[in-house]
Amino acid sequence: MENWSLFSLCVLLGLTSRWAVSFHSYSGAGKPPMFGDYEAQRHWQEVTYNLPVHEWYFNTTNNDLNYWGLDYPPLTAYHSLVCAYVAKLLNPEWVELHASRGYESHSHKLFMRATVLFTDILIYIPAVLLYCFYFCDGSSKQKVATALCILLYPGLILIDYGHFQYNSVSLGLALWGILGLGLGWDLFGSLAFTLALNYKQMELYHSLPFFCYLLGKCIKQGLIGRGFFQLAKISLTVLVTFALCWMPFLSDPKQPLQVLHRLFPFGRGLFEDKVANTWCSLNVLIKIKTLLIHLPTTLSPFPLSLYVSSPQNISQPVCLVINEIPLIAIWFLLTSTFSMLPLLVKDGLLLPYVVTSLAFLFLSLYLLSALERSTEEELRLGLYRKLTRHWLPKLNLSRIIKWKFWFSLVAMAALSFTSVWLEPPAKFPDLFPVLVSILSFLHFLGFIIYFNLVQLMEPQRKKSQKKTN
């Protein structure tokens, strides 16, 4: 079958599953007074449409920051503004100042879901397709299979089309950034990534690799001459993009400070945000202590919404390597979906969670032949082999990994089942969410170690591959 038809089938399957999930509930549905992230997004449309720019991030009589105040960078605000214009056309009640608080209706839900679908189609899906087309090895069928697996990643679908967020925008822009860098279009890549950063500050996690890569590239081209010139161009692009995004806030020095204060609420308790994103940080050991102290606070509503975006940030790079180390990547992606179980159950998204996770598991294992491609070489277990060679030379590492994989799946399934069907004991009402967090954390710890080791071994592996080829 021709390429275009395979890719379009893949996209259609992705779109169908997304819209099918959108039929289900959203966060805070029917739960006054605070509702949830869905209401937050609607509220931002209301605020940005009705209030002047200089009031968006400030606590005024018209803008109560305690009720879902804006805490994302300006690009999110502009996006909300555009959506608000459309909403006003369809039904002004949706964005009526003050009066529309807690507005819920079937047609409004359709509208909100449609906005997510629209940006997804515009930004995220083309980026995924292009990435698979240009940067995946193998036949075109394999590329399509990879694209399909990436598009069917349950975590993103459940959060964007279930819980309700716009992660696909920031992730898509970041992906365009990666595409730009990969194709050698540094300026375009920097532009895209800066936009991503201006959409959600969570992209800071990805900024370090971006920065290091570009800096390294410029240095290689010689710090005097071409390299310097390139660095200047990139810096200029980034600065200009920032300036354009922040332009309405640059008139008064108080403005950018307030915005930053909203984005990085140091006063409110940085720990909550950090704790949720602990497993992203390189300095794991120190953070374990922080985690143990602040574990209960991860379950409070506000930081939970920040916590929610984080799995996507880490899962995205793992999605991209799904074709290289399929088994580990699939394992990781399922774990990250599982880690959001308490949130999903709270939102009434149990059925989509089960269906999309199972579908992702079976289809990606099948399409990418993950279980067959699991020799030691393919699983990049070189360093593990080196470490165990002396004490346990006869160890079949690949079989151990597979056993661990199945065992961990069973554990996750069992915990999912019990946390839904059984009542927690009265003394520990939060038992199940805590268990989920702990289990996920242990998994992520293992994955961080694994990915770091693989990274260390990479140059050696490439050398030995060159030798054998």
Partner 1 sequence: TVMAAPMTNDQSWFYALALGVSFLKCLLINAYHSTDFEVHRNWLALTHSLPVSQWYYEATSEWTLDYPPLFAWFEYGLSHIACFFDKEMLVVPNLNYASPATVLFQRLSVIVADVVFFYAVKECCKCLREDKGKDLLGKPSFILTVLLLWNFGLLIVDRILGDLAINKHFEGAFLFSVLLNLKHIYLYIAPAYGIYLLRCFCFTQSNADGSLQWRSFSVVRLVILGTIVLSTFAVSFGPFIALGQLPQVLSRLFPFKRGLCHAYWAPNIWALYNIADKAFSILGVKFRLLDINKLPKASMTGGLVQEFQHSVLPSVSPLATLVCTLLSILPALFKIWHRPNGARGFLRCLVICALGSFMFGWHVHEKAIMMAILPLSLLAVDSRKDAGIFLMLSVTSHYSLFPLLFTTQELPIKIFLMLLFTIFSLASLKTLFRKGGALLNPLEVTYLLGLIPLELICEFVYPLTVWQKTFPFLPLMLTSVYCALGVTYAFIRLYISLLTCSDTTKKTKMQ
Query: How many helices (H) does the chain have, and how many strands (E)?
Result: 21, 0
**Contact track, partner 1, 88-107, x by CB under 8 A:** ------------------xx
Quick one: 18 or 443, whose CB is closer to partner 1?
Answer: 18
Pick from 31, 373, 385, 402 the residue near partner 1 by CB under 8 A.
Answer: 373
Quick one: 5 or 300, whose CB is closer to partner 1?
Answer: 5
For the stretch 238-260, what's the b/e string if a residue is b when 16 or more beta carbons lie within 10 angstroms of its beta carbon? beebbeebbeebeeeeebeebbe
Nearest distance, CB of residue 62 and partner 1, angstroms: 33
Nearest distance, CB of residue 393 and partner 1, angstroms: 25
DSSP 8-state symbol, 264: S
Q: Which residues contact 334 (CB under 8 A, 6 or more apart)?
A: 154, 357, 360, 361, 409, 412
CA–centroid distance for 155 within its chain? 8
Question: CA 275, 280, 285: angle at the middle one, nearest 5?
Answer: 70
Nearest distance, CB of residue 87 and partner 1, angstroms: 15
Does 300 interact with partner 1 (rule: CB under 8 A)? no
Pick from 33, 52, 137, 292 the residue near partner 1 by CB under 8 A.
Answer: 137
Does 86 interact with partner 1 (rule: CB under 8 A)? no
Contact between 213 and 39 (Cβ < 8 Å): no
Pick from 129, 308, 368, 439 the residue near partner 1 by CB under 8 A.
Answer: 368
Tokens of 389: 């060679």
In which residue are the tokens 């240095």 written?
A: 219
Which one of 4-12, 41-49, 206-214, 440-448 is the stretch in contact with partner 1 (CB under 8 A)? Answer: 4-12
Pick from 50, 91, 142, 207 the residue near partner 1 by CB under 8 A.
Answer: 142
Does 183 interact with partner 1 (rule: CB under 8 A)? no
Which one of 27-35, 334-342, 349-357, 430-438 is the stretch in contact with partner 1 (CB under 8 A)? Answer: 349-357
**Residue (of 312, 341, 305) closest to 28 by Cα position:** 305
Quick one: 212 or 359, whose CB is closer to partner 1?
Answer: 359
DSSP assignments along 71-120, one per residue: -S-HHHHHHHHHHHHHHHHH-GGGG-TTTTTT---HHHHHHHHHHHHHHI
Pick from 85, 141, 449, 460 the residue near partner 1 by CB under 8 A.
Answer: 141
DSSP 8-state symbol, 424: P
Contact between 147 and 10 (Cβ < 8 Å): yes
User: Which amino acid would we find at residue 448?
Assistant: I
Does 449 interact with partner 1 (rule: CB under 8 A)? no
Nearest distance, CB of residue 178 and partner 1, angstroms: 20
Does 372 interact with partner 1 (rule: CB under 8 A)? yes
Does 358 interact with partner 1 (rule: CB under 8 A)? yes
Residue 356: exposure state from Cβ atoms within 10 A (0-12, 13-18, ≥19): buried
Does 20 interact with partner 1 (rule: CB under 8 A)? yes
Residue ranges in contact with partner 1 by CB under 8 A: 1-2, 5-6, 8-9, 12-13, 15-17, 19-21, 23-24, 106-107, 110, 117, 137-139, 141-142, 145, 351-352, 355-356, 358-359, 362-363, 366-369, 372-373, 378
